[in-house]
Structure 1
Amino acid sequence: MKLFEHQEKVLNATYSYDRVAYYLDMGLGKTYVGSEKMWELNTPYNLVICQKSKIADWKEHFEEHYPDYQVIVFDKQIIERIPEESVLIVNYDKVWRRPELEKLKHFTLMLDESSMIKNEKSNRSKFILSLAAENVILLSGTPTGGKYEELWSQLHLLGWKISKKLFLKQFVVQEWDDLNQQYKITGYKNVDRLKSKLRKYGAVFMKTEEVFDLPPMNDQIVKIKSTKEYRDFAKDHIIEINGEELIGDTATTKKLYLRQLAGVYNQNKLQYVRDLLDSTNDRIIIFYNFKKEYADLVEMIARPIATINGDLKDLTPYEEHENSVTLIQYQAGAMGLNLQKANKIIYFTLTDSSELFEQSKKRINRIGQERPCFYYFLLTQGSIEWRMKEVLEKRKDYTDELFEEEEYERTTSQND
Structure 2
Amino acid sequence: MNKVAYYLDMGLGKTFVGSEKLHQLNKRANLLICQKSLIPMWINHFKTYYKYQVFDGTKSTQLNQVLNSYEKLRPFVLIINYDLVFRRDLKSVFRHDFTLMLDESSMIQNEKTKRTKYILKMHPDNIILLSGTPTSGKYERLWSQAHLLGWNITKSKYNKIYVNWDTMYLGIQKFKVVNKDHPYKNVQRLKRKLREHGAVFMKTEDVFELPEQNFIPIKVKQSSNYRKFLKDKYLEFDNQELLGDTALTYLLGLRQLSGMYSKEKLDRLSDLIDSTEDRLIIFYNFERELDEIVKIAKNKIRPISIVNGKTKNLTNYETKDNSITLIQYQAGSMGLNLQKANKIVYFTPPQQSELYEQSKKRIHRIGQERSCFYYNLIVEKSVEERIYRALKERRDYTDELFKSDFD
TM-score by length of 1: 0.55
Cα root mean square deviation, aligned: 3.9
CA deviation after TM superposition for structure 1 residue 273, in Å? 5.7
* Aligned-partner Cα distance in 1 for 2:57–2:188: 40
Aligned residue-pair number: 261
CA deviation after TM superposition for structure 1 residue 76, in Å? 3.6
Identify the residue that residue 368 of structure 1 maps to in structure 2. Answer: none
CA deviation after TM superposition for structure 1 residue 302, in Å? 3.8
Matched, 1:81 2:63: no
Matched, 1:69 2:59: no
Q: Deviations for 1:242-284, whole angstroms, at most 9, x for unmatched residues?
A: 8xxx9xxxxxx9x958x33x4378732566864553579xxxx
Q: Deviations for 1:146-174, whole angstroms, at most 9, x for unmatched residues?
A: 11111011011100121100000000001
- Aligned AA for 1:94? L
Q: 1:102 to 1:154 in 2, by over 3 A?
A: farther
CA deviation after TM superposition for structure 1 residue 53, in Å? 0.8
Gaps of 5+ in 1: 1-16, 218-240, 247-252, 289-293, 305-321, 327-342, 348-359, 366-416
Alignment of 1:4-403 (within 5 A): 17-66=1-50, 68-77=51-60, 78-79=64-65, 80-82=68-70, 83-104=73-94, 105-179=96-170, 180-186=173-179, 187-212=183-208, 256=301, 259-260=303-304, 262-263=305-306, 267-268=311-312, 274=330, 277-278=333-334, 287=343, 298-299=347-348, 301-302=350-351, 323=357, 345=363, 362-364=370-372
Q: 1:64 to 1:256 in 2, by over 3 A?
A: farther
* Aligned-partner Cα distance in 1 for 2:306–2:333: 17
Q: 1:267 to 1:39 in 2, by over 3 A?
A: same
Q: Deviations for 1:97-130, whole angstroms, at most 9, x for unmatched residues?
A: 1113343131100000000001101010011111
Structure 2 residue matching 1:40: 3-state secondary structure: helix
Q: 1:131 to 1:95 in 2, by over 3 A?
A: same
- Aligned AA for 2:206? E
* Aligned-partner Cα distance in 1 for 2:2–2:32: 16
* Aligned-partner Cα distance in 2 for 1:122–1:183: 19
- Aligned AA for 1:207? K
* Aligned-partner Cα distance in 2 for 1:58–1:271: 20
CA deviation after TM superposition for structure 1 residue 346, in Å? 7.2
Structure 2 residue matching 1:21: 3-state secondary structure: strand
Structure 1 residue matching 2:161: 3-state secondary structure: helix
TM-score by length of 2: 0.56
CA contact (8 A) 2:343 2:372 kept: no
> Sequence identity, in percent?
45
CA contact (8 A) 2:342 2:372 kept: no
- Aligned AA for 1:72? F
Gaps of 5+ in 2: 213-289, 314-325, 374-407
CA contact (8 A) 1:274 1:300 kept: no
Identify the residue that residue 321 of structure 2 maps to in structure 1. Answer: none
CA contact (8 A) 1:43 1:108 kept: yes
CA contact (8 A) 2:103 2:131 kept: yes
* Aligned-partner Cα distance in 1 for 2:48–2:13: 16
